[in-house]
Amino acid sequence: MTQTPVQDLTAPTPGQDSLLDRAFGSPRAARTALLTAAGKAISYGELRAAVDRLVLHLPDAATGKRLVHLPLRAEVHSVAAYLATLEAGHVALVTSDEPRTAAMLERYRPDVTATGDPEHPFEFASGAPLHVLHPDLALLLSTSGSTGSPKLVRLSHRNLAANASAIAKALRLTETDRAITSLPLHYCFGLSVLHSHLVAGASVVLHEGSVLDGSLWDAIDGLGVTNLAAVPHMVELMESTGVLEASHPSLRLIAQAGGRMHPDRVRRTADLGRAQGWGLSVMYGQTEATARICVLDPALAAVNPDAVGKPVSGTSLHLDTTVPEAVDGAGEVVVRGPGVMMGYAEHPDDLALGPMLTELRTGDLGRVGPDGLLRIVGRRSGFVKVMGVRIDVGAVEHALDAAGHTACVGGDGTRLLVAVEPRTSGAPDATAAEARRIAGQASGLGAAAVAVAVTELQRLANGKLDRPGCAALVLAGAAGHATETTAPAGAKSAAAEVAKVVSEVLGTDSVDLGRSFVQHGGDSLSHVQASLRLEGIVGPLPRGWHHRTLSELADLAAHRRNAPADPGAAGLAGTRARPPRIWRTVETSVVMRALAVVAICGSHADLFDVMGGAHLLLAIAGYNTVRFGLSAPGVADRWRATARILIGVAVPTMLIALFAMLTTGRYGWSNILLSHWLLGDTTEGSTRNEYWFIDALVASLLVLTAVISVPALARAWKADPWRVAAWFTAAALVPRFVVLALTEDSMAQSIMPTTLWLVGVGAAAAHADTRRRRWLTLALGVIGGATFFADQPLRNAVVVAGLAALILVPRMRVPAFLLPLLGLLAAASLYIYLVQFLVLSAFENDVVETVAALGVGCLLWRLADRPMRRLQDLVPAPNRWNERTP
């Protein structure tokens, strides 16, 4: 690695390790710490007393550290609760108070939640800690600024104290300084303002409001605010409104971070500040470095408008010029120092980990000049490939910025996607044409390869560009193959919501509205969650929705929202509010998965006797597998898709079987190897056939994939998959009858040769696109199922009725209030099946056994879903593989 030393300052001055020790460690009790927007002052002594009182409400950390959820607001009680959490030795999970934090809180279940109510400051989930938390861990923050991402940054007490002191030193903060909460406190930059000013003995005005609100500026001028923190978008707004041209006598410093500001704007703002008596300090940082890495002295801003300064005290950095993107002396910025995070948390188990990093690879590309100043020139991820050409997104945005356009640039493989804000003067068409021309020239692709949407850019809560959201706007506008358009508001919100669902269900940040759910790696294991959530946005999903582009689904959603509430409302002034839906439509396969697993558990618990559910699940597995994995275009792609599905099925089965073998001896190696139907009781300890369903499913999917990989059959499958699936089913009925005729074994109906036809019927049902084909498919199901279980007519009837519903009724109407429960049971059906036998043996009451098995299975699915998805992602989804293959 080539290293370019920049500045290697000494470590922070030795002292206390805690942020609060540094904030309250010197005699300053009478000085003001916080002010409300109304001007009420809270001294350091009063704040300390409030923190100490709240500490008494929290459990003693000696009995176990707790995870405390703090929906942090710019209010005295909220700030005191946050500081009390740190003081008590617990871990603060800081978020906004918005509903979008729900996904994060589902993953990281808090022990304690701050209520914001001074009378009842905390709510407690349970007595014992829910997580193992590392002793050094102090704070968890989202990496995205949206506080909705389940990927968190783990920060220690040392991180917080050292970086707060370093910022205070770099900005020359003193006890006479006063900041205002111009940024959300759940955003790392906003929280660092609070930390650094408390450490310096300064004060902070707690105010909720935008730089466009007159109340913010009244507070700045009326309460003597000296320091204002801002992100580039805020500076743009202040410049456009002229608010900075007015006199603000107390203001001495505007500290800008959170993204790159164009050098021309830096120069203009610095010049304005010099005329008005305040300075501009450009800063550079990341949440992963506890806020600030570099700070540019205000005296240097006007003459070095492209620089972000030198490292803060205790921090050093070097450039890795060996990365592929390094050109002209640039390299990836690599940071060392006490601010470098402990590491990421992507799962609750990660909260027990200690520091995992000695340096932070920022992903930013930078250069260091002879003056020792760092200049950020791009991102390693700031490149897109369009028609095989690698495009520097930052360079295109800079070209547009230089021409006076505020833009966000991305790409979808075939086009450069440019979202550009409308100008105050000039028609949108003219703006689009100019932006298209500039982007075409800057990228070298030409205007024909550029799609433009003129629209308000989507931004995160911290003011940064929401790049996936902006790309969604362009794709929504370009769905009709237009290259210049103004994206409608309905399409904008619908596209963003559809992209959000796919991103959260599949755990990916890379969502392309020009591709389908299947092309993003969606499969039969994830489609339940996706279909139910998309149904809430789009309405009844069209047949084959999983193969339609996400932009098409967004268009359907926008059309549904813009449609009148009833046919008679068309043409009236305004539209009637839509009443809440009492009934919802849902895919029959989802309902059947939920009902089948309940029937399986209840029957095994002797609560009732409705057998046949597992056999129906085999048909549903065949149905979903050919809709998702086996719909891939090529043989190799289908094998990869099948491998992803089998990882999601086989790995949890093998792990649970191994656990049971080691702890109870219930299963043996044939169960772990998913081969009990072949090995039977020949392996030591193998006594139970309870996982026959998994054995049969894995073997059947391998056989089906192998059959349609034969060249002649692969071509036939591509031309007419129903015909191949129907003949496959007919052929699979042969061993079903032969084996059962030749054996009297009561378990013969649970081995793969006798159940393969069920997977075939499901595969045929998925492609039965005419009435005739549906009835022929049902006929095959009746032939196989009517006499499948000897002397068990009810069980045969359950199987045949379930197959009829799957084949003839693709969607069902269900009460809306039942949908969350049905969706949960269907999504968790595999895990419920796997753990039921272990849970059922632990109870004696039939109802308790059934409910416990369902509950434990759902909980296990919640915990295992994302880790299993990450494991599946080790095998590239078909579309991703195709992109990487010449």
> Tokens 């449609």 label which residue?
563
Q: φ and ψ at 41, to 5 degrees?
A: -95, 140
Q: What angle do CA 654, 657, 658 make, to 5 degrees?
A: 85
Structure tokens at 63: 């009995």
What share of the chain has pLDDT > 70, as a percent?
86
Residue 784, amino acid: G
Q: What is the pLDDT averaged over residues 537-561? A: 72
Alpha-carbon distances of 139 from 109, 145, 155, 595, rounded to whole Å? 15, 15, 5, 42
Does the pLDDT at position 816 exceed 60? yes
Residue 40 has pLDDT above 70, yes or no: yes
User: Tens digits of per-residue pLDDT, 59-115?
Assistant: 999 999 999 999 999 999 999 999 999 999 999 999 887 666 777 888 899 999 998
Burial class (CB in 10 A: 0-12, 13-18, 19+), 848: middle
- All domains in the chain, ordered by first residue: 19-376 (3.40.50.12780), 385-561 (no CATH), 591-872 (no CATH)
Report the chain's terminal Cα–Cα distance, integer Å: 30
Mean pLDDT of 256-284: 91
What is d(CA 54, CA 320) in angstroms, rounded to the nearest whole number?
46
- 374 has which bridge partners? 309, 368
In total, the chain counts a number of residues equal to: 886
Q: Taking residues 376-385, report their average pLDDT.
A: 74
Residue with tokens 């339609």: 548
| pLDDT for the residue 859 | 93
Strand partners, 335: 317, 360
Structure tokens at 274: 């010099």
Percent of the chain past pLDDT 90, that is, above it, reads 42
d(CA 289, CA 163): 8
Sign (positive or negative) of CA dihedral 12, 13, 15, 16: negative
Pairing mode, strands 383-386 and 389-392: antiparallel
Q: Mean pLDDT: which of 1-10, 721-730, 815-824 is highest? A: 721-730
Q: Residue 359 burial by CB count (10 A; 0-12/13-18/19+): exposed, middle or buried? A: middle
Any idea which of 325-334, 347-356, 494-503 has the lowest mean pLDDT?
494-503
**Beta-bridge mates of residue 227:** 179, 253
Phi, psi torsion values for 667, nearest 5 degrees: -120, 165
Using the structure block, give the residue that is written with the tokens 């046919």: 567
Helices and strands (DSSP H and E) totals, the chain: 31, 28
The secondary structure of residue 352, as a DSSP letter, is G
**Is this prediction's pTM over 0.85?**
no
Q: How far apart are CA 603 and CA 589, in angstroms?
A: 20
